[in-house]
Structure 1
Amino acid sequence: MSGLTFTKLSVGPMDNNAYLLTCTATGDSLLIDAANDAERLLQLIATAPSGISTVVTTHRHQDHWFALEDVIEATGAASLAHPADAPEIPTATGTLNDGDTIPLGDCNLTVIHLVGHTPGSIALYHDGHLWTGDSLFPGGVGNTRGNKANFESLINDVTTKLFDRFPDETEFHPGHGKDSTLGAERPSLAEWRARGW
């Protein structure tokens, strides 16, 4: 991946993934999902050359922002989320819409709105890498709790905005568990749609 490095940290008790992204040219960094274990997250942030400027929260569920207030208080970073979810995320200081870009040093992250797991779920993209929150995992899309309309929305968004847009070698990094590639998951799209979850 050109221009960025990232570190993945799993935090408890739900094994959420938090990601520290750093521009290799400038040292500017941001955090995706201040999920839990503020002390461990702040230790990770301390490894960044100049701390973090921003925390992006992928969606409104508390297991993805439980440590957010502590991290924002300690770092002074901006707190960004999609406007459909931001009212339920404490300390959100700004919003992100589909197609927005987040500058990170010499790099830019593109915001992709994926409706279904929550109304304001987002993924971020940069140079062959997607950070998908709880919208896409190895083996399927995120949980829509048996709501058929939400599932249809999510499977359609994931198909058209991710699989139809990016090539097989694109790596994705979810909000829980292991990473995968779009190519590894693409053959299962029809199966996911047919099973309804």
Structure 2
Amino acid sequence: MIAKIIRNHNWKVAGGIKGGIRHQSTAAVTPTPPFRTHVAANTPTTQTFYDKDSSTWTYVLHCPRTLQAAVIDPVLDYDSNSGHVSTQSADGLLAHISTSKLEVRHILETHAHADHLTAARYLRHHLHAPVSIGKRIVDVQRTFGPRYNLSLDSLQGSFDGLLDDGETISLGDCSGNVIHLPGHTPDHVGYMFGGHVFTGDSIFLAPTHTARADFPGGVASQLKSSIDRLMGLAGDTKLFVGHDYPGDGKQVSCSTTVADQLLLNDHIKMDHFAQFRMEKDSSLNTPKLLHPAIQFNIRGGRLPPADEDGVSRMRIPITTKSAYHAGTIS
């Protein structure tokens, strides 16, 4: 069931909330301009939008003739310190879609993200387009649901479409295919439209190069197989990444090519990639939005079910095995 919509711009999660996503009318919102627009033959026009707080790329692609469109990996604004959530970025995206006269037919997720809250359900409410994700999201839900006291029943119906490898997605005169790219997560997929592939969290630009594979269900060897699949595409295929972490004040970028990755990506040249990836992942910090992001995103962008007082709360599991956990300290 879609969360109840309340007409106000902001909402809080940390202390709990009654109702659902609160928003403002997009009629008065300034459209967010795309960072870049990419045009290629027999390929939907691709417009890119960067969320600085989570270093996430959102993509809007459309058929040049019919203006039928898809949105990939949209983002809500979330402040982890206050629990404050805003739809400002999503509203700017909606305003852009409206002024561009695009007809959004698909809202697509590459996977259940652990670093930002998805705006998929919010866009669904406004655009009346289905939200789809890789079919192995059910495995992710079974893994993470119990950790946040979410029953499997409460997770049913979170997504309108569960996508299989090779499945076709149509946008007017253009069509694309789903590519199953497990490794970072079991449900992870990419989307290939003509000469453009939206790779999600699998392969990255320097200095990150490749995704981590240490989340439950992640497998480094599977990640390498997924990257090898991408590297088997034509050299001029443009790869649109899920994030960019440029560092050193460098300009962010959203894309690379297969040829450039084969030349410049040191990770994929390694003979023992899986071992390298596992060792590197053991030194990485937990994403700061992991807990709110996972329990929100495995529900397709819905708040957790309300407690008896009518308030919906995000939960943080306590994982220590110290005396606190044993109940000897109160």
Cα deviation, residue 191, structure 1 = 2.9
Specify every segment of 5 or more residues in structure 2 that has no aligned partner in the other structure, as ranges.
1-39, 77-88, 142-154, 245-252, 278-330
Any idea what the Cα deviations from partners look like across 1:120-157, whole Å, max 9, x if unmatched? 11111122211101111124221113889711111112
Q: Which runs of 5+ in 1 are unaligned?
A: none
SS in 1 for 2:71: strand
Identity among equivalent pairs (%): 26
Larger-gyration structure (1/2): 2
CA 46–119 in structure 1, closer or farther in 2 if over 3 Å, else same: same
User: Which amino acid in structure 2 is aligned with residue 113 of structure 1?
Assistant: H
Q: Aligned residue for 1:39? A: 91
What's 1:108 paired with?
A: 175
* Alignment partner, residue 172 of structure 1: 239
Whole-angstrom CA distance in 2 between matches of 1:174 and 1:45: 21
Alignment size in residue pairs? 195
RMSD: 2.4
Which residue in the other structure is 2:69 paired with? 29
1:2 is aligned, of 38, 41, 46, to 41
Aligned counterparts, 1:34-113, within 5 A = 34-36=74-76, 37-63=89-115, 66-85=118-137, 88=141, 91-113=158-180
Structure 1 range deviating more: 89-98 or 10-19: 89-98
Higher relative contact order (CA closer than 8 Å, sequence separation 6+) = 2
More strand by share: 1
| 1:15 Cα deviation from its structure 2 partner | 2.0
Question: Which of 181, 188, 201 is matched with 1:121 structurally?
Answer: 188
Aligned counterparts of 2:215 and 2:128: Cα–Cα separation in 1: 39
TM-score by length of 2: 0.54
Could you tell me how far apart the structure 2 residues matched to 1:108 and 1:121 are? 20
8 Å Cα contact 1:155-1:193 kept in structure 2:
no
1:93-121 per-position Cα deviation (integer Å, ceiling 9, x unaligned): 01111111101101111110011111011
Whole-Å Cα distance in 2 between the matches of residues 26 and 175 of structure 1? 26
- 1:5-46 CA-to-partner distances (Å, cap 9, x unmatched) read 111001242021110001012110110111222212212322
